[in-house]
Amino acid sequence: MAATASFLEEELCCAVCSDFFKDPVLLKCSHSFCRVCLKKFWEQKSSRECPLCRRKSMDDPPLNLILKNIVENHLKHKNEAPEKTEAPEKNESHCSLHGEKLLLYCVEDQEPICVVCQTARKHRDHQLCPLEEAVEDKKVISSVLLIFPRGSKHIKSQSQHTEKKIKGEFEELHQFLREEEEARLTVLRVEEKEKSERMKEKIENISKHVSTLSEKIRDIEKATDAEDVSFLKTVSDTKEKYVDPELASGALIDVAKHLGSLKFRVWEKMLGTVQYTPVTLDPNTAAPWLSVSDDLTSVRYTGVYRQLPDNPERFTNFAFLLGSEGFNSGKHSWEVEVGDKPEWDVGVAAESVNRKGGIYEACTSTPTHLRLKRKPQRIRVQLDYDRGEVSFFNPTDMSLIYTFKGTFTGRLFPFFSPCVNDDGSNPGPLKICPVKNFCVQIKLPELIIT
C-alpha cells in the first residue's frame, strides 16, 4: 500500500515544481502543470511549449478540474490519516504453536513464523526477513510475473512477423533468379535455333555442291575416255570453283558469353533491383505511439498507445526512437526525408541517453535560431566521430544548416522523432532515404608468385 500511495503522489505532482498540483491546467498534448509554474516556464523560455514534450500551444490552457478535485481529495484524506491510524489494530495472524504474532518469514522453509519459532531447531541458521518485507517482495514478483507473459507474447509475435518478412524477401530473390534463369535459357535456345538453321542451310548447300561435283566427275570421266583436248582446262576450272567446305566464324554456340562470370553478372544485375539505406530503425527503441514500417526505414506518430514490453531500450515518455547501429569512430552520413512536416527531430543520441523520463532541466540558455533560404524537404546528417562534429545539411544544394561540436565518448546512435500530431497539423512519416549510387568492395585473393 505504501508503494501504491507513493506512486499516486508522484502522479499528482507537477513536473516543474515537484509539488502537488495547484490550480492545474491541461495542454493539448495531455500534460498538466500548475498554472503559475507553466506561466513562469513560458516567460523564461519565451516560447509557449510543453515543458515535457516541447509541443507548442497557441491558446491559453483550460483548468483541469478533474485533476484538481483528485488532488484536493487526496490531500484531505492525507491530512486525516493520523487520526485513522489510531483506530483499533487490524486482526493479525498468530502462530499456532506459540500464540505469538507472525512477524517473520523463513526464506528457506517459505513460511511465516513468530519470534519464538526463530530460536527453534527447525528454523535455526535459516535466512529470515520481516514478514512485511516478504509480502512486498511477493507483490513485486507477482507484478513482474504479470509483465513477462506479455513480453513472451510480444517476442512470439515479433518472431512470426519477422519470419514472414524474411520468407517474403527471399521469395522475391528466388523469383528474380527464376526469371533471370529463364531469360538466359531463352537467349541460349534462340542462339541454338539460329545457328542450327544456318548449319542446316550450309549442309544443304554443300549437298547441292556435291551433287554438282558428281555430275562434273562423270563428265570428266567421259572426256577422259574420249581423250578430249579440253580435259585439263575443265579439271582446272572445277578445282578453282569448288573449295574445301569450312565452318564460318561464329558458327558454334558462344559458351563463354553464357557461362563466363555468370554468377557475378547475375549478382551485379540483382544489385540494380535493391535499395540500400545506410541506417535502419530499431523498433525495440520506439515509443508506444510510434509505428515503424516493415522495411525499418520510416516512422510515423499514430497517437494510439500500444501495449509493448517496457524493455530498457524503449523510450516510454516521448515520441523518440533510435537507429539500429551505433558508431564509435569514423565518418557516417544519412539523409532523412521530412517533407512538409512542421515539427520533427533528427540527430544523434548517446547510448546512455535517458529513455524512461523523470528528467528535470533548467532553462539556462535560449535556442539557436536558424535562418534558412528555403524550407528543406530532406536533412542530411553527417557525423564525424573522431573530430567530435555532427553537421546538418540541405542535400538539395548541400548548404550547411548547423554544426554541433563536442567530445564524444561511447557509441552514438541516429536519433529520430516525427513529433506528435494530436491536432492533425503534423502528419506524415520521417523516411530514411536510400543511397542511389553505392559501391560494393570485392576483395580478390592475392596472387603469390614463387
Q: What integer pLDDT is reported at residue 233 of this predicted model?
A: 56
Quick check: is 401 in a domain? yes
**Residue 180 structural domain:** 162-242+250-272
Residues 299 and 174 both lie in one domain: no
Q: What is the pLDDT of residues 52-89, one digit of tens each?
A: 877 777 777 888 887 888 888 888 777 765 544 444 44
**Whether residue 300 is found in the same domain as residue 203:** no
Indicate whether 227 and 255 sit together in one domain: yes
Examine the domain organization and report whether 319 and 267 are in the same domain: no
Which among 17, 49, 78 is the end of a domain? Answer: 78
Same-domain status, 287 and 427: yes
pLDDT-wise least confident of 350-364, 368-382, 400-414: 350-364
Query: Measured between alpha carbons, how far apart are the two ends of the chain, in Å?
Result: 82
Residues whose CB falls within 8 Å of the CB of residue 374, separated by 6 or more in sequence, listed in order: 394, 396
Q: Which residues contact 389 (CB under 8 A, 6 or more apart)?
A: 382, 383, 403, 404, 405
Check whether residue 214 and residue 290 sit in a common domain. Answer: no
pLDDT the model gives residue 226: 57
* Same-domain pairing of 324 and 385: yes
Is 444 a domain residue?
no
Separation CA 278–CA 32 (nearest Å): 40
**Other beta carbons within 10 Å of 440:** 8
Same domain flag for 326 and 235 = no
Question: Quick one: 268 and 325 in the same domain?
Answer: no
Q: Is residue 128 part of a domain?
A: no
Higher pLDDT, 392 or 276: 392
Spatial distance between the Cα atoms of 112 and 128, rounded to a whole number of angstroms: 9
* 226 domain residue, yes or no: yes
Query: Minimum mean pLDDT among 161-165, 287-291, 403-407: which range?
Result: 161-165
Same domain, 320 and 205: no
Does pLDDT of 338 surpass 90?
yes
Give the rounded percent of residues in the chain with a pLDDT score beyond 90.
Answer: 27
Instruction: Please report how many Cα atoms fall inside a 13 Å half-sphere around the Cα of residue 323, on the Cβ side.
Output: 26
CATH code for the domain of 22: 3.30.40.10
* 87 assigned to some structural domain: no
Handedness of CA 135, 139, 145, 148 (dihedral sign): negative
Q: Is residue 322 part of a domain?
A: yes
Residue whose C-alpha is closest to residue 24's, from 77, 67, 55: 67
Q: State residue 85's pLDDT score.
A: 43
Count the domains in the chain: 3
Q: Which three cell numbers stand for residue 288?
A: 508506444
Residue 98 confidence (pLDDT) above 80:
no
CATH number of the domain at 423, please. Answer: 2.60.120.920
Last residue of a domain, one of 22, 50, 78: 78
CA–CA dist 401, 283 (Å, integer):
29
Domain match, 308 and 422 both: yes
- Residue 371 in this model has a pLDDT that exceeds 90: no
User: pLDDT-derived band of residue 101, with 50, 70 and 90 as boundaries?
Assistant: confident
Residue 96, domain member (yes or no): no
**Does residue 314 sit in the same domain as residue 385?**
yes
Q: What is the pLDDT of residues 223-235, one digit of tens each?
A: 666 555 555 555 5
Does 24 map to a domain? yes
